[in-house]
Amino acid sequence: HRIAKYNIKSRLNLRNDQRIYDLAKACQNRISEMEAQHLGNIAWAYGKLGISIPSLFDAIADFALKMAHEFDAQTLSNTAWAFATVRIKKPKLFEALAQNAILKFDHEFKAQDFAIICWAFATINYQAIDFYKSLAKVVTARLEKKGEQIFFSPQNLSNIMWAYATVG
């Protein structure tokens, strides 16, 4: 996670660093010991680095399916973002993320979580009608509440609208 926050030049150099791939293998070997946030952080870090290691993302997806109900809003959105960023489509994972996100929209999602998960789903063209309907209902309700208009930044709103326009 900390490595992924390096500047862009350092991150580009890491793509050729064998230690990043060794670390991925170590993560894969211990995946069954990880908690939900660990999975999300690892996926996010490799997404931020722009490094797609299919075997690592397969392992994360497989284990995440078993524990998606434990993901908080940030872990749901960051995991979706990471898979979309490295262009790895895992329909069963995205279905689990969507179902769990819907359950947490009203009480756990922050504006950025809405925007990130929308961007991710649209980026991989994930067609989840129930997800988008539930999202629209919650976003509209928040926008209609007095004083809640500032909940969503202009960037959040544009990401959400872009997602709707992209998935049609």
Residue 150 CB coordination number (10 Å) = 7
Helix (H, G, I), strand (E, B) or coil at 88: coil
Q: Which are the contacts of 59, defined by CB distance < 8 A and separation ≥ 6?
A: 27, 28, 31
Picking from 3-7, 18-22, 108-112, 125-129, which range would have the lowest pLDDT averaged per residue?
3-7
Tell me the average pLDDT of the chain: 89
Helices (H), the chain: 8-14, 18-29, 36-49, 54-67, 73-85, 91-104, 111-123, 129-144, 154-167
On the question of pLDDT at 50 being above 60, the answer is: yes
pLDDT tens-place string over residues 97-136: 999 999 999 889 999 999 999 999 999 999 889 999 999 9
Residue 35: per-residue pLDDT: 95
HSE at residue 47, side-chain half, CA atoms within 13 A, is 21
What is each CA distance from 83 to 53, 57, 94, 106, in whole angstroms? 11, 8, 9, 24
Question: Both tokens of residue 149?
Answer: 């208009």
Residues 45 and 73: their CA atoms lie apart, in Å, by 17
Over 90: is that where the pLDDT of 143 sits?
Answer: no
Q: Which of 39, 41, 49 is nearest to 5 (CA)?
A: 49
